[in-house]
A and B are shown apart, each in its own frame.
Chain A
Amino acid sequence: MTALIEIAAPASGRRPKGVGGRWGLLLLPALALLAVLFLVPLGLMAWRSVTDPAPGLGNYSWFFTSDVALATLVRTLAVGAVVTLVTLLLSYPYAYLMTVVSTRARIWLTLLVLLPFWTSLMVRTFAWVVLLQDSGVVNQLLGTVGMGPLQLIRTQAGVVIGMTQVLMPFMVLPLYAVMSGIDRRLLDAAQGMGARPVTAFLRVFVPLSLPGVGAGALTVFITSLGFYVTPALLGSPDQALISQQIFTQVNGLLAWGRGGAMGVVLLAVTLVLLGLVGFVLRFTRTRGGVR
């Protein structure tokens, strides 16, 4: 996602300032809509978090002293970390293969990543519900290799499986972007100096690919924090993630203040991590060799 934003950053205006001013008017309708349906709602949520049910920071002190609320935040971060790690382990070899195959094979590998990317989240989560259910295909396969039926749906494992599949494109694409920019002659040079291929790969290629790892990992991690549909349908209600808790507080318990406070915390964590993404991307650009 961030890669997308980077690519599309607008060109700096070449025009004199006087002409530039009037063009700004065309921004107004979009900005007005954004103000009413994005900024006002966010403000309203923050406002409720400090006024509902009583003015003050009660909801925040509740959040940071309640075992349940804190456990939810920690669980969300932990699931995000596991999802990020699994995604990275699956994506790194895949993205690497994309850089060494023929154009034709690369198109197919890219298509396999992009097709699920554009398939509705609801549809994919539903598919995992079907696959992971007690009598589902995964358990049938496990049965044929002699492993008893496992409880997959309504567990954290199910959530991780579903979220990993949904988020993999966000890891593969930045990894591929960075890897394809690495000069392969550096590997040959290392081997020419006597390094074994594995050593050359680990000490030359892997360090050069780290900016891609950083950008992909942070994007996956941040996106995973806001997930609602997948954990709600694949996870268990008593191991809810923060989005589910926010939903329950507001929609089920009508505890607007608490839901709002959780929302503000989630937003704050997201923004801090986004700052990190910006840092990683700037770091990527300043590294001459990688482009």
Chain B
Amino acid sequence: MRAGPARIALWAFSVLVGFWLIAPTLVVIPLSFTDKASLVFPPTGWSGRWYTNFFTDPRWSEALLSSLQVGALVAVVATVLGTAAAIALTRSGSRWAKSSYGLLLAPMIVPTVVVAIGVYALFLQYGLLGTLLGFVTAHTVLALPFVIIPVTASLRGFDRRLEDAALICGASRWGAIRQVTLPQIAPGVVSGALFAFVTSFDEVVVSLFIQSPYLQTLPVMMFASVTRDTDPTIAAAATLIIVLTTVLVLAATFATSRRNRVR
């Protein structure tokens, strides 16, 4: 593959593929600034009216608030449960602790629609459809793997002799974890929390089943809007999601890479 033409062909092909990967997302952003009430690309004139519409239409702004609220709660709950589980997984030598690792990651692999109808059946029975509790618990299960993976990775890089040193110096077990271990693995925990938020913020399938007219998340509103009409407000919603998730994922990646540099 040292030959010139082959290399050029490879580059040309890959640039096209790269463009095809990135273009769809980039189309959405200019579309949200169109002045027409249709989703025609490229837009012929510019206006911020769809953003005004997004923030003044209670259906959209309430969906955004619900998404932020659910996402924030999921980030907290999943991070606490996931970090505790990750500590147990890296410390406990017992066999059932090891096999529960696979179980905790299973929601990542099982088709979401299968989880969704099960959760729907359960929530229907106990009146949890369209409740904050329902959304937070269901999303937390899906987000747990995204906390456990980075935190487990951080813990594997953490030198346990530091904790032993704290114990020798008279710290309690919990004190050593809180004052020595947790600060050391903080980047992993932070990136886990951010990924948990993004997982919840993006989740559609389970949310479609457990929604009610009283509680809908932003992706659910978007799904309904795509099937119903061609209101460019949806492009504004999509752009807001792109900006928010990109910032959070970059922050999470930065947190992880900073850990690698320090070590």
Binding site for B on A (CB under 8 A): 1, 4-5, 7-13, 15-17, 19-21, 23-27, 29-31, 33-34, 36-38, 40-45, 48, 90, 93-94, 96-97, 100, 109, 112-113, 115-116, 118-131, 133, 135-137, 165, 168, 197, 201, 222, 225-226, 228-229, 233, 243, 246-247, 250-251, 256, 259-260, 263, 266-267, 270, 274
Contacts and interface: CB of A to CB of B under 8 A. Distances in A.
A96 B117 contact: no
Nearest to B232: A130
Interface residues of B, number: 90
A259 B11 CA distance: 47
30 contacts: A1-B108, A8-B149, A11-B90, A20-B91, A24-B88, A27-B85, A30-B104, A31-B85, A33-B81, A36-B137, A40-B118, A41-B121, A44-B121, A48-B121, A115-B246, A116-B22, A116-B24, A116-B25, A120-B238, A121-B202, A122-B202, A127-B27, A128-B24, A129-B226, A130-B28, A165-B24, A226-B114, A228-B113, A233-B223, A259-B117
B144 A34 contact: yes
Contacts of A222: 109
Interface in B79-93: 80-82, 84-85, 87-93
Contact of B84 (A27, A133, A243, A267): A27
Contacts, number: 269
A124 B122 CA distance: 31
A41 B119 contact: yes
Given A10-B152, A13-B92, A90-B17, A42 B115 contact: yes
Contacts of A25: 88
7 shortest interchain CB distances as A-B pairs = A41-B118, A226-B111, A13-B93, A127-B24, A26-B88, A20-B93, A30-B85
Interface string B53-96: 00000000000000000000000000011101101111111101
Interface in B98-125: 98, 100-101, 103-115, 117-122
A266 B91 contact: no
Given A30-B81, A38-B106, A126-B28, A263 B1 contact: no
A38 B22 contact: no
B101 A9 contact: yes
Contacts of A29: 80-81, 84-85
Nearest to A19: B91
Contacts of A100: 1
B14 A97 contact: yes
B21 interface: yes
A17 B93 contact: yes
B186 interface: no
Given A7-B153, A26-B88, A225 B93 contact: no
B97 interface: yes
Interface in B165-192: none
B46 interface: no
A13 B91 contact: yes
A31 B100 contact: yes
Contact of B103 (A9, A34, A96, A124): A34
B39 interface: yes
B11 A97 contact: yes
A205 to B, nearest CB: 9
B4 interface: no
A37 B234 CA distance: 31
B92 A20 contact: yes
B44 interface: no
B236 to A, nearest CB: 12
A267 B137 CA distance: 22
Nearest to B82: A30
Contacts of A251: 120, 209
B28 A123 contact: yes
Contacts of A21: 92, 94
Given A34-B144, A130-B39, 15 more contacts: A19-B91, A29-B84, A30-B85, A31-B85, A41-B119, A41-B121, A42-B114, A45-B121, A93-B17, A96-B1, A120-B241, A123-B242, A124-B24, A251-B209, A263-B117
B162 interface: no
Contacts of A15: 91, 93
A120 B202 contact: yes
Contacts of B219: 120, 122
A112 B97 contact: no
Contacts of A233: 223, 226-227
A63 to B, nearest CB: 15
Interface string B4-27: 000000110110011011111101
